[in-house]
Structure 1
Amino acid sequence: MNIASNEGFNKEDLIKFSEKIGYELPNDYIEFLRHHNGGYVKNNISSYLKNGIQKFILTYMFGLGAGDDLLSQFDIYKKRIPNTCIPIGRDAGGNLVCLNLSKDRYGFVYFWDHEEELNYEEGKITIDDLYLIAETFNGFLSSIERDDLKASKEGYNVKKVWVDPDFLKELENNSDK
């Protein structure tokens, strides 16, 4: 995975987060936090199962104590995703990568499609309403592929490109992350 890691992993933040959510995190995920503490992901894709294999562009993994951290994301999504899950990452469309922490399917990684959120009453979505990515966090990491832009544009010719000036400024401001 091509990731610009967050700095500042702190074991105390990990303990506080585990106490807040009421679950212990899987060891493979804790190791990821120790090494990277989340961060911006560049040129990587993964996939989930929904009527066949669906691909998504992974853009960010949440860490501890960062601006866009696990605790703030947990608070934002705790009534929108299954109560046995925590959001651990985001794709380019604002969907989530979630880690299940219940005894049943402990450590499984799922994809939460925010477009389907309106199909459920608040707090009624279950783990069966998410899409499986991998049965372990390490399995999720292994599923991540480099998004080779050369291969994806093979056979296509770009004739014209327009980029919203405000969006371009945002891209330029985030290009060093």
Structure 2
Amino acid sequence: MNKYQQNIKLLEGYYIRNQKPKLDSSEYIKNLENEIGNDLPANYLDFLLNYGGFAFTDVVYPLLESNEVDDEQVLSVCFGMLPGDSYDLIRNYHTFKDRIPPNFLPIACDRMGNLVCLSINGEDREYIYFWQHDAEEIVDDSEKIGYPEDVYLVAQSFDEFISSLEKLEDDDE
């Protein structure tokens, strides 16, 4: 049993390809780390190997920083080792790398195209952020201190992020 299994089971998630991906994960991880220029944090790597390409229905997480829309966000899909799929981690890195801060790796999304990103280097390495795409600002390399207004802190570690996930409660009661 891995350390995330109990939380994930309670959230009632499922693999988007109806099963855990079957491929040479060591080669995929090596390619990903070469692409991003950093090693993946151990906690995220453990999750990726077990739950990459995993989807949820009605799962939410809080923001540590308030945004104008909502202090709670929905998690739909965790990107994974899915070459050729729209939820492939490397594919999403390439799709968004010029739109998000340079130290971010997009690791998940909601149904609206907003991202959950992992900081892969710097003082905030391993922090998790929410990137709101419809409030997108132009990101350039000169923006070293702070993040654009479309980025909100979610958690100070990947484990903290996973622990913050909850099933959305029905308000119909």
TM-score w.r.t. the length of structure 2 is 0.79
In the alignment, what sits opposite 1:142? 163
Partner in structure 1 of residue 31 of structure 2: 16
2:82 pairs with one of 65, 72, 86: 65
Equivalent residues in 2 for 1:123-134, closer than 5 Å: 123=140, 128-129=147-148, 130-134=151-155
The CA deviation at 1:122 is: 4.5
| 1:43-82 alignment, distance < 5 Å | 43-48=58-63, 49-51=65-67, 54-66=71-83, 67=85, 68-82=87-101
Secondary structure of the residue aligned to 1:56 is strand
Name structure 1 gaps, 5 residues minimum: 155-177
Paired residue type of 1:4: Y
Q: Provide, for residues 56-77 of structure 1, a one-character-per-residue CA deviation record: whole Å limited to 9, x for no partner.
A: 1110000013412111101100
Aligned to 1:4: 14
The 1-side partners of 2:156 and 2:105 are apart by 15
Give, as a single letter, the amino acid of the residue that structure 2 aligns with 1:115: D
Give distance in 2, aligned partners of 1:44 and 1:62: 15
1:13-71 Cα deviation digits (max 9, x unpaired): 01110011101111000000111123111221112122597111110000013412111
Q: How does 1:77-156 map to 2 (within 5 A)?
A: 77-117=96-136, 120-123=137-140, 128-129=147-148, 130-149=151-170, 152-154=171-173
Mark the runs of 5 or more structure 2 residues left unpaired by the alignment.
1-7
TM-score (norm 1): 0.77
Q: Matched residues, percent identical?
A: 28
RMSD of aligned residue pairs (Cα, Å): 2.0
Q: CA–CA distance in 2 between the matches of 1:153 and 1:91? A: 23
Equivalent pair of 2:53/2:82 in contact (CA under 8 Å): no
The list of structure 1 runs, each at least 4 consecutive aligned residues, that deviate by more than 6 angstroms after superposition, is none
Distance across 1 between alignment mates of 2:162 and 2:52: 14
More helix by share: 1
